Amino acid sequence: MRFTRLIPRALVALPLLALARAEDGPYPSASFSGVWQGNVTNATAGDGVLGAFTLEAGGDLTWLQAVDFSTMLSAGVAATADLCTTFGGLDKISAGPRVELRHKLGLGPYAPALSFGIEADGAAFSDSERSHVDAAAVARLSQRFDEALQLVVEANAGGYAANHDVFSGSYASLGAALNWDIDETWRVSATGGWRDGDVVAEYAAAKSSTGWVPIDTGAYHYTGPRQLVRTFSEPFIAYRTTAPTWSWGIGVFPAIGPHTSFALQYTRSRTSAYDTYVNDLVSAGIVHHF
C-alpha cells in the first residue's frame, strides 16, 4: 500500500515541469458519450449484479515542444465529468496533468513510433469514500503497416489512493488495438487487453444478528479490506482483492466532419478471482478536435 500512496505524489510534479517547457499550443479537444455497464458492481449472477448508465463529458488541452527531428514532447491537462443516471453515488469529476515523450524510430510514414508518458488525476465522487488520487506510467508502440492498417500496443503501471482503503490499490495492464481504415470516413478497431492488480467486488448484503453480511457465501473467501456501502439502491458490501482481468472489444469510428468523429464501442471483460465477474460495456459518443 505504500507504493499506492507514493506514486501519485511523486509523479504529479513531472507533467507540470514539462508543461512549463512546451511552446506550441494549446490544442483543445472535447468528447461526449453515453456508457452502459452491465455489471457495475463486479458481482456474480444472482448476488447483486447491477447495470448502470452514465453520461460522460471530457476535455483536454495539449501543448507541443519539438526536441529534435524525430522526437516530440507533449504536455497538457485533462478533465472529465461523469453523471450516473442510475446511481448518484457514482457521479464523478476528475482532472489532472499529462506528459508524453514520443520518438519515431526511422523515416517514412510506416516507421514505428514509441512513446513514454505519465498521467495523474484527482477524482471526486458523490460517494466520498470512492474519491481518490491516481497516477500511472504509460508506454505505447504504434506501427502502421500500410495506409489502412495500424497496430497500437499500450502498457500501463499505476496506483490509486482513495479515502477508504477498500477503493485503493495498484495495477499493471497491457492492451492492443488493431485499426483498419476502410476509407477516408470509416475506421474499424478490434481490441484486446489484460490487467492484473487490485479490483473491488460488491455483493448484495443482508442484516443478521452479527451485522451486515453478504448474501453470497462465496464472498466469505475475501480476506482484504471491506466496507458496507450505500452507493446503490440497497446495501452492498465492497471487497478488495487482487485478480487478473481479460477483455476484448470492437468499435466503429466514422468521421462526421473535418475534425469530428462518432465512436460506437463494445467491450466484454472477465475477471477471475474467487468468483468470476463478467462485465459488458457499450458506449456511443462524439469526439471533436478544435
Domains of the chain with CATH codes: 2-289 (2.40.160.40)
Provide the 8-state DSSP code for 217.
Answer: G
Q: Which residues contact 247 (CB under 8 A, 6 or more apart)?
A: 175, 191, 192, 193, 194, 195, 267, 268, 269, 270
> What is the amino acid identity at position 174?
L
For residues 148 and 142, what is the distance between their CA atoms, to the nearest angstrom?
14
- Residue 106 CA neighbour count, 13 Å, CB half: 9
Whole-prediction pTM: 0.86
Residue in the structure block whose three cell numbers are 465529468: 81
Give the three cell numbers for residue 125: 465522487
DSSP 21-81: H--EEEEEEEEEEEEEES-TT---TTS----EEEEEEEEEEEEEEEEETTEEEEEEEEEEE
Please report the pLDDT score of residue 6 as a whole number: 47
**Partners of residue 155 on adjacent β-strands:** 139, 174
Segment 214-259, tens digit of pLDDT: 776 555 566 678 889 999 988 898 999 899 999 999 999 999 988 9
Segments of the chain scoring below 50 in pLDDT: 1-8, 10
Residue in the structure block whose three cell numbers are 472529465: 80
CA 165 distance to own-chain centroid = 20
Residue in the structure block whose three cell numbers are 471530457: 58
Please report the pLDDT score of residue 48 as a whole number: 80
For residues 41 and 47, what is the distance between their CA atoms, to the nearest angstrom?
10
Please report the pLDDT score of residue 276 as a whole number: 86
